[in-house]
Amino acid sequence: MSVSQQVFLRDAMRRLNLTRDVFAARIGVKRRALDTWLLPEGSQEFRGMPEVVQRFVTEIVENEALLAKYAQNSQGGPLRDRIARDGKHQLISVEQFTRDSVEELVRIADMMQPIARRQKVSRVLEGAVLGNLFFEASTRTRVSFGAAFCRLGGSVCDTTGFTFSSMAKGESIYDTSRVMSGYVDAMVIRHPEQGSVAEFAAATNIPVVNGGDGAGEHPSQALLDLYTILTEFSRLGKLLDGAHIAITGDLKYGRTVHSLMKMLSLYRGLKFTLISPPGLEMPTDIIEYVAARGNHVIEQTNSMGEGLKGADVIYATRVQKERFSDEQLEGYSADFQINKALIDQYAKEDVIIMHPLPRDSREDAHDLSVDLNADSRLAIFRQADNGIPVRMAIFAVLLGVENLVQHSMRDVTWSPPSHIGPEDAVFHGMY
Ligand code: ASP
């Protein structure tokens, strides 16, 4: 097998759109056996899957793929051409994806896991230079894009803030973009104005990734959020089609949830519960976009308890005060804090709690409380960790090297810790 057993099986379940239980039944094995085959190879309880099962799974997947191909008359070709925007290999909006293309990217992210988990190294981007241009505050996005590029063997040049850039001297987006394209092979750009990253992208032919444009979009965050939901659901034996997603907080200015809702609309029959303080509701253009696709139900409420009931995913967001014009924070009372008491009272036992981070941990912030840190339903650190394989996948696709990665992998020469943080001990080896 050219990919790991875990990647092979997860890919098969995703392609067949089956939960672990149904998949185990379909291939005639016990769920417990399947669980051990799905563990990472280094973990204690990992077991190798018999070859006959592997052949059987390959056969089912290939038959399904063949049928799907006839049914959809799929266009084929490299993924970067299928998601291209104006003929360029750039990622500006989640609207560039179909369900097929996004799931292909998810499979590539799965393939990156041994590198992201520091078991393997690769040099497929050796010699390539990334320009990380961040004209707005960032920690996770900037560092994880940089780390993802480095882990594929490339190098990174960073610039942060307006004050230290030539834009503070009145330089145009066009000039900055054109000049940078002469220096680097790809750019990630974050800028406070909606639509500005598309302007950068129009001025160059090198790959550009939108790292957040004002209240507009944050496509790489939506991809890693989708990846997190699919991975957690696989562990929990759930499917995304038909799931209930509750989204809370500042839905007006939160670009992560704008991208996430559009991305999730590629799935079928979702129920969205949108819970926000008065004045910070989800923009109508996003609601209309989602309503026009996939047979979804969208409910809006100001009541946290009611909104969380029955949700499979609770996605909390920070109030984006930096984008406020004349909004007040009066409606944003303590009722909007997601904390352990609220979750225990209203949420399902197998809910997953997500947040794009940073969360405002100050007491009066009414964001996602730290009292959930030891609760295994809190997926925020697993979610943030997923930023690496997903951003590696984005670069590999945009630079056209995804097919070289698998064979380029070598063992790491140093010894990373088995758990990178205290809270992931419960889940270590589970996915
Ligand atoms: N880090 C995310 C963003 O850049 C979320 C946030 O800042 O609240 O949009």
Q: Tell me, what CATH number does 104's domain have?
A: 3.40.50.1370
Atom of ligand 1 nearest to the CA of 250: 8
196 lies in the same domain as 285 = no
pLDDT at 17 over 90: no
For residues 303 and 399, state if they share a domain.
no
What lies within 8 Å, CB to CB, of 368 at 6+ separation is 316, 337, 338, 353, 355, 359, 380
Q: Which of 189, 256, 361 to mutate to test the pocket of ligand 1 (most atoms within 8 A of CB)?
A: 256
204 is in which domain, residue-wise? 84-218+389-411
- Predicted local distance difference test score (pLDDT) of residue 169: 80
Query: What pLDDT does residue 387 have?
Result: 98
In the predicted structure, residue 425 carries a pLDDT above the cut 70: no
Average confidence (pLDDT) over 250-275:
97
Is residue 33 predicted with pLDDT exceeding 80? Answer: yes
What pLDDT is attached to residue 63?
A: 80
Q: Is the pLDDT of residue 386 over 60?
A: yes
**Enclosing H/E stretch for 274:** strand 271-275
Compute, in angstroms, the gap from residue 250 CA to the centroid of ligand 1.
11
Is residue 2 predicted with pLDDT exceeding 90?
A: no
Atom number of ligand 1 nearest to Cα 140: 1
d(CA 407, CA 413): 18
Query: Does 10 contact ligand 1 (Cβ within 6 A)?
Result: no
Q: Give the end of a domain, one of 17, 50, 77.
A: 77
Is 195 among the domain residues?
yes
State whether 375 and 228 are in the same domain. Answer: yes
CB 367 within 8 A of CB 335: no
Find the 205 Cα to ligand 1 centroid distance in Å.
Answer: 27
Residues 6 or more apart from 128 whose CB is under 8 A from it?
A: 149, 153, 154, 155, 185, 186, 399
Does position 21 have pLDDT exceeding 90, yes or no?
A: no
Are residues 67 and 208 located together in one domain of the fold?
A: no
Q: Which residue has the higher pLDDT, 71 or 174?
A: 174
Given a cut of 70, is residue 132 above it in pLDDT?
Answer: yes
Boundary of a domain, candidates 56, 77, 98: 77
Asked whether the beta carbons of 47 and 37 are under 8 A apart, the reply is yes
Question: Would residue 419 count as lying in a domain?
Answer: no
431 belongs to a structural domain: no
Does 420 fall in a domain? no
Least confident of 73-82, 192-201, 288-297, 302-311: 73-82
Note the pLDDT of residue 71: 47
In a domain, 424, yes or no: no
The answer to whether residue 430 is domain-embedded is: no
Q: Structurally, how many domains does the chain consist of?
A: 3
In a domain, 64, yes or no: yes
For residues 160 and 233, state if they share a domain: no
| Cβ contacts of 361-370, under 8 Å, gap ≥ 24 | 365/318, 365/319, 365/337, 366/319, 366/332, 366/333, 366/334, 366/335, 366/336, 366/337, 367/249, 367/316, 367/318, 367/319, 367/337, 367/338, 368/316, 368/337, 368/338, 369/337, 369/338, 369/339, 369/340
Smallest CA separation from ligand 1 atom 8, residue: 318
Assess if residue 400 is contained within a domain: yes
Q: Are residues 352 and 400 in the same domain?
A: no
> String of b and e for 142-155 (b: at least 16 CB within 10 Å)?
bebbbbbbebbbbe
pLDDT digits (tens, 9 = 90+) for 338-370: 999 999 999 999 999 999 999 998 877 889 999
Regarding the beta carbon of 387 and ligand 1, being less than 6 Å apart is answered no
d(CA 232, CA 238): 8
For residue 73, the model assigns a pLDDT of 43
Structure tokens at 316: 């909390």
Task: Average the pLDDT over 255-273 and give the result.
Answer: 98
Q: How confident is the model at residue 285 (pLDDT cuts 50, 70, 90)?
A: very high
Reference 177, options 165, 163, 164; nearest CA is 165
Q: Is the confidence at residue 68, as pLDDT, over 80?
A: no
Q: 129-133, 169-173, 189-193: lowest mean pLDDT where?
A: 169-173
Mean pLDDT over 121-125 rounds to: 98
Same domain for 39 and 109, yes or no, is no
Query: Max alpha carbon distance in the chain (Å)?
Result: 67
Same domain, 112 and 37: no
If asked whether residues 277 and 348 sit together in one domain, one would say: yes
Task: Identify whether residues 60 and 147 lie together within a single domain.
Answer: no
Please tell me the predicted confidence (pLDDT) of residue 1: 66
Cα 41 to averaged position of ligand 1 atoms, centre (Å): 34
pLDDT at 422: 75
Task: Place 426 in a pLDDT band, splitting at 50, 70 and 90.
Answer: low
Q: Is 191 in the pocket of ligand 1 (CB under 6 A)?
A: no
What does the pLDDT read at residue 168?
76
Ligand 1 near 214 CB (within 6 A): no
| Same domain assignment for residues 165 and 292 | no
pLDDT score, position 350: 96
- What sign does the CA torsion over 20, 23, 25, 29 have? negative
Are residues 59 and 78 in contact, defined by beta-carbon separation less than 8 angstroms? no
CA of 160 to the centre of ligand 1 (A): 16
Rounded-to-integer distance, Cα 148 and Cα 301, Å: 38
- What pLDDT digit, counting tens, does each position of 209-244 carry? 999 999 999 999 999 999 999 999 998 999 999 999
Confidence of residue 333 (pLDDT cuts 50, 70, 90): confident
- Partners of residue 209 on adjacent β-strands: 91, 188
265/380 same-domain check? yes
> Average pLDDT of 282-299?
96
pLDDT tens per residue, range 69-99:
544 444 579 999 999 999 999 999 999 999 9
- Where is pLDDT greater, at 15 or 381? 381
- Looking at residue 429, its pLDDT comes to 47
- Per-residue pLDDT, 66: 63
Distance CA 284, CA 290 (A): 10
Query: Which pLDDT does position 294 carry in this prediction?
Result: 83
Mean pLDDT of the chain: 91
- Ligand 1, atom 4, lies closest to the CA of 212
Q: Is the CB of 218 under 6 A from ligand 1?
A: yes
Q: Ligand 1, residues 259, 357, 366: which to mutate, most atoms within 8 A of Cβ? A: 357
How high is the pLDDT of residue 34? 93
Q: How confident is the model at residue 16 (pLDDT cuts 50, 70, 90)?
A: confident
Structure tokens of 51?
């070859």
The model's confidence at residue 330, banded by pLDDT at 50, 70 and 90, is: low
159: which DSSP letter?
Answer: E
